[in-house]
Amino acid sequence: MKPMNFRGRAVLVTGASSGLGREMARQLATRHGAHLILVARRGDRLEELKRELEADPAVRVHPIVADLSKLEEVDRVIDEVTSRHELYAAILNAGITHFGAHDKLEWRDFQRMLDLNVTGVVRMATQLLGPLEAREGGLMLVSSLTGIVTVPYQTAYSATKAFLIHYGWGLSHELAGKNLSITTYAPGGVDTEMTIGENFGSLRRWLMPASQAAREGVEALRRRKPLHIPGVTYRWGTALVGMLPRGLTTRIVAAQYRRALEKAGAL
């Protein structure tokens, strides 16, 4: 399959009201000339982005306000997208975390995280594969390095992202030879609203600018890479971690995160 060309094509980005999603939307419009369908709960943010991007008359933006932790809203978005657009690419990026001890995660919040990070993504992916295949399109799941390397104190989040690593990787093999590509994207720490809280304190020095993470994400999708980790340091670090005993690496990660939480008085 040839690399993707987003110019004049419809690209869906979920979680486009901030952070990585907003940056990917910006780059898809400004560098690649894509038409965008942007989804998030904060409609005012989506409208602001629409105004910014449509300053270029060649770009069209269709904002959809939806809570993707609710299955009926996920289905509404799928209907709206497939009935109004010839979808060429979809970036399933919306996600939330819990950074803190496992017993400080309320059951309701855990359920919402599971619904958004896992259930909604699987629902969208399965419903969008057909339309994407019809146009030699591409699907990108935004997972995380925490899905490859276990991160204690983000334990449940890390597990939701591990699901996406396996799901995306498995799909890309099940669908090999079909007329579409599946990319799983696994960034390490990125400087966004997700990592802005006090708890991340000393860990913030590891964060990558959202613009860089977005650029590498869009490029991985464009080149139809099955799995991509942005940043040379993170890529080599992950390879090294893979060679060491899992118990050792998880102890080191746990110690770093515990220290950050203790400093923030959150343990």
Write down how long the chain is: 267
Dist. CA 260–CA 203, nearest whole Å: 7
Cβ closest to ligand NAP, residue 137 vs residue 231: 231
Q: Exposure of 255 by Cβ count < 10 A (0-12 exposed, 13-18 middle, 19+ buried)?
A: exposed
Cβ closest to ligand NAP, residue 154 vs residue 181: 154
Dist. CA 261–CA 49, nearest whole Å: 34
Residue 41 in contact with ligand NAP, rule: CB under 6 A: yes
Among 13, 34, 89, 194, binds ligand NAP (CB under 6 A): 194
Cβ closest to ligand NAP, residue 206 vs residue 249: 206
Q: Exposure of 112 by Cβ count < 10 A (0-12 exposed, 13-18 middle, 19+ buried)?
A: middle
Residue 218 in contact with ligand NAP, rule: CB under 6 A: no
CA angle 29, 34, 35 (to 5 degrees): 100
Beta strands in 87-242 (DSSP E): 87-92, 138-142, 181-185, 190-191, 208-209, 227-228
Among 195, 220, 221, 225, binds ligand NAP (CB under 6 A): 195
In whole angstroms, the minimum distance from the beta carbon of 202 to ligand NAP comes to: 15
The one-character DSSP state at 3 is P
Measured between alpha carbons, how far is residue 92 from residues 129, 194, 233 in Å?
12, 16, 25
Cβ closest to ligand NAP, residue 128 vs residue 142: 142
Q: Is 167 a catalytic residue?
A: no
Among 19, 131, 168, 231, binds ligand NAP (CB under 6 A): 19
In whole angstroms, the minimum distance from the beta carbon of 30 to ligand NAP comes to: 18
HSE-CB at 134 with a 13 A cutoff on CA atoms is: 8
- Considering the candidates 88, 153, 157, 234, report the single residue annotated as catalytic: 157
Cβ closest to ligand NAP, residue 10 vs residue 124: 124
Residue 69 in contact with ligand NAP, rule: CB under 6 A: yes
Among 24, 28, 94, 171, binds ligand NAP (CB under 6 A): 94
Residue 37 in contact with ligand NAP, rule: CB under 6 A: no
Residues designated as active site: 157
Residues within the interface to ligand NAP (CB under 6 A): 15-21, 40-42, 45, 67-69, 93-96, 116, 142, 144, 187, 189-190, 192-195
